[in-house]
Chains A and B, each alone.
Chain A
Amino acid sequence: MLTIERPAELNFDTFPPEVQRFRDRVREYARKVVAPRALELDQEAHDHFAWDVVHQGHRLGLTRAVLPKEFGGMGVGLVGVTLAMEELAAACPGVALVFGATMLAQGPILLSGDPQLQARFLPLFGGDDAILACNAICDQEAGLDLVVPQNVRHAYGMTTIRRDGDEYVLNGHKRVITNATVANFASVFGTMEGVRPDEGLTCLIVPLDSPGVTRGPVADKMGYRACLGGELLFEDVRVPAENVVGGEGDGLSILVAQGNMARPSVAAISTGVARHALETAIEFCGQRVQGGALLREHQMTARKLAEMTAKVDAARLLYLRAADKVDNSLPPPEYEPAVAKLFADQVAIEVAGDAVGLLGSRGFIREYGLEKVLRDSYGARIYEGTPEALALAITDCLYRTDDEEGDDDDDR
């Protein structure tokens, strides 16, 4: 059975100075640059992309936040990244995900431990102009099967990879890939031809200007409209053999570790969405008079506000615990990130819904902005693991025996 130990020396009230400074700078950017544009970006055409906003975030280090300092990174760890994601998402989660998806694509390169692969791709983010990346997992048919490790063997219709001399040849069709339209390169997961996916899953780093790569249409999404979810088609794309992450068949372990690293950030995005809704509700209920009293003085409303704030606080503590664990564990843990994401995603939906209810018609009318928050709140329920997938991961941890933990370690 899983033993949940009380973490020692955790203090989530103060952070290392460089983390604090990074969060403060991102907060200012979120409030002064992103928030004033959030509604406009939401209502633009579905394939509109605000490079100017992204360039400004890049200059703060948001595309290299997770990179080590030797690559020009910020060296703020996942704790710093999650704090930044909450700040961004409180302004616009779509903008947060532009940077989050880039970090996600950097994950396999970092996890590879391959200094030559790192040298060829990570310095890209050190320039003054924003460079973005994307992580291409979902195929036309294989979606959630690739998120639940025990289901990977059932995945079908996947992108295929074939070795040909010093190159790999890639064929497939990826869909709903954040940043596909604007990325410089993609971390692409596919399976070796003729090999079962759980044994053949392989990750390649693919420059998206390679011959045979086509960027497909952008999905017209319900929320997160500031980031673009597009398709990628690979037709006999030839990729140098040294672009493989780890080796052939190492994709599943990379994918699991990458997911565990990413989930605290997604939980932080959901927390930011919920915080936006909460702050809007607090402001409104502190000014709006009904029945001769401020809304916040009505017991039903006070109870609702209290529960909303408790949920946001709890979501934040859970993502910080998970991020702290990821920063200090190798391989990254499975349990804490999954719990943080499961909880925060649900909190975003609940708090956004409650806030819309408290604002009444103002919550229902687009120009007030809360309607966007409600739509956005459903986004993280879908990407990087649905509640159903997370439940399987969490429950698996609950029933995992010490022997199995040991086996895992041996395998690694």
Chain B
Amino acid sequence: MTTTTARHEAPEERVGSPATARYVHDLARLHGSLRYGGLEDAILGAPLARIDGLGDGLTTLSFWEWQLPERYMLAILGFRLAQFLQTGLMDRELAHRLALFHEPLPAPARGVGTVHTVTLTGDGRIVGYLGLVGSPDPEPLPLDSPVRLGLPVEVAHRVDLLSEYAAPDRTTHNAFEIKRFVRDHQLPRGEQRNRVPWHLMLACLKVGVALDEIQVIVGDAGERGALRHLRLVGFDLKVVEGTTPWLPRSELMWISYELPVEKRAKPFAALVPANLPELAAMLETMVAGGGAGWRQAVVSSLGGPARMRG
């Protein structure tokens, strides 16, 4: 997972040609202008998680990829592209050259599939996203199987994150990667903006509660981004230092691994905490609390146990 809350400024040399800069600007404007108020009604069946009515005007929905019609899938992929191009964590020149207006559609899932989580404003604007990508193995394999297919983060960092969690009742279909944790770059500073990552995190916990097959999570993230959020909500993360991630230059995200070491995402893995339902309920109560002090409450209430574990 390359995690961003869209604060990172891309190095100047990566802004690209004036035409590319205009392209990125136009895509951001285009996707920022689109509204998807009908997304929830378009979900086939019930969403895996739904967060609403917290008084912040945000609605967060989690669903399997197969539950969403393609037009809305394109909307999500468009949002992701526009956001990551703005942060400079995707190759702007490549996106421009390929005339992308959304991230490429994923190939039909061979394995477990992907759970998408989106946060929407009241008028249907997508302002946050988080993905949980399942194993590409068509059939479940032991986590230490030499023939299992790597999750994207393992491929990029050339690291095995799952073997040490091998257990008789645990397979590759129990491991999920958190990807593309992102908040809308254009969302004005304020309460709503502050709450988007917590909406996403809460939905992520609720998905974990709803899908007990999720036992291990992996990803890659920055210390100030999702690593912090995940630790706060109770994940005992094992962070692998010193990897040399690499993606071919045909991949949009290759550029994110060329950042200075201190800004680079670190791979991590963790078992899903056994008390996930309690953690989710606690987080929901605090986020629902509103008022000026809710963030501090989240940090102090969840941070205490996290510090004790640490």
Contact = CB atoms under 8 A, between A and B. Distances in A.
B38 interface: yes
B74 A119 contact: no
Nearest to B39: A128
A59 interface: yes
Interface residues of A, number: 20
A124 B30 contact: yes
A127 B39 CA distance: 10
B26 A120 contact: yes
B71 A120 contact: no
A126 interface: yes
Contacts of B18: 166
A126 to B, nearest CB: 6
Contacts of A126: 34, 71, 74-75, 78
A128 B30 contact: no
A118 to B, nearest CB: 7
A399 B74 CA distance: 48
B99 interface: yes
Contact of B23 (A120, A122, A128): A120
Contact of A123 (B38, B39, B102): B102
Given A72-B74, A126-B74, A242-B22, A120 B27 contact: yes
A159 B30 CA distance: 27
Interface in A103-119: 115-116, 118-119
Q: Is the interface of B mostly helix, strand, loop or mixed?
A: helix
A128 B26 contact: no
A129 B78 CA distance: 16
A130 to B, nearest CB: 10
Contacts of B308: none
A123 B19 contact: no
Contacts of A118: 99
A331 interface: no
A77 interface: no
* Most chain B CB within a 10 A radius of its CB, from A121, A122, A128, A240: A128
Contact of A127 (B19, B35, B96): B35
Contacts of A127: 33-36, 75
Contacts of A69: 70
B51 interface: no
Interface in B22-81: 22-23, 26-27, 30-31, 33-39, 70-71, 74-75, 78
Secondary structure call for the A interface: helix
Contacts of B101: 119-120, 122-123
B13 to A, nearest CB: 20
A166 B19 CA distance: 9
B12 to A, nearest CB: 19
Which of A120, A127, A129 has its CB near the most chain B CB atoms (within 10 A)?
Answer: A127
B27 A242 contact: no
Given A119-B100, A123-B78, A123-B101, A128 B37 contact: yes
A115 B70 CA distance: 20
Contact of B36 (A119, A120, A128): A128
Interface in B81-130: 96, 98-102, 124
Given A116-B96, A119-B100, A120-B101, A242 B74 contact: no
Interface in B136-157: none
A53 to B, nearest CB: 17
A242 B21 CA distance: 12
Nearest to A72: B71
B33 A124 contact: yes
A126 B98 CA distance: 20
Nearest to B31: A123
A128 B38 contact: yes
B115 to A, nearest CB: 22
B34 A116 contact: no
Contacts of B37: 128-129
A129 B101 CA distance: 18
Contact of A242 (B19, B78, B98): B19
Contacts of A72: 70-71, 74
Nearest to A117: B99
Contacts of A240: 19, 22
Contact of B35 (A120, A121, A128): A128
A116 B99 CA distance: 5
Interface string A68-83: 0100100000000000
A240 B19 CA distance: 9
A240 B78 CA distance: 22
Contact of B99 (A119, A128, A166): A119
Interface in A99-154: 115-116, 118-124, 126-129
B149 to A, nearest CB: 28
A115 B35 contact: no
A201 to B, nearest CB: 24
Contacts of A241: 19
Interface string B210-250: 00000000000000000000000000000000000000000
A127 to B, nearest CB: 3
A240 to B, nearest CB: 6
A118 B100 CA distance: 10
A115 B99 CA distance: 6
B271 to A, nearest CB: 39
Interface string A42-77: 000000000000000001000000000100100000
A115 to B, nearest CB: 3
A119 B74 CA distance: 12
A115 B100 CA distance: 8
Nearest to A115: B99
Contact of A128 (B74, B78, B124): B124
Given A72-B71, A128-B37, A166-B18, A116 B23 contact: yes
B20 to A, nearest CB: 10
9 smallest CB-CB distances across A and B, nearest first, come from A115-B99, A127-B34, A119-B101, A119-B99, A116-B99, A72-B71, A128-B38, A123-B101, A120-B26
8 contacts: A119-B101, A120-B30, A123-B30, A126-B74, A127-B36, A127-B75, A128-B36, A129-B124
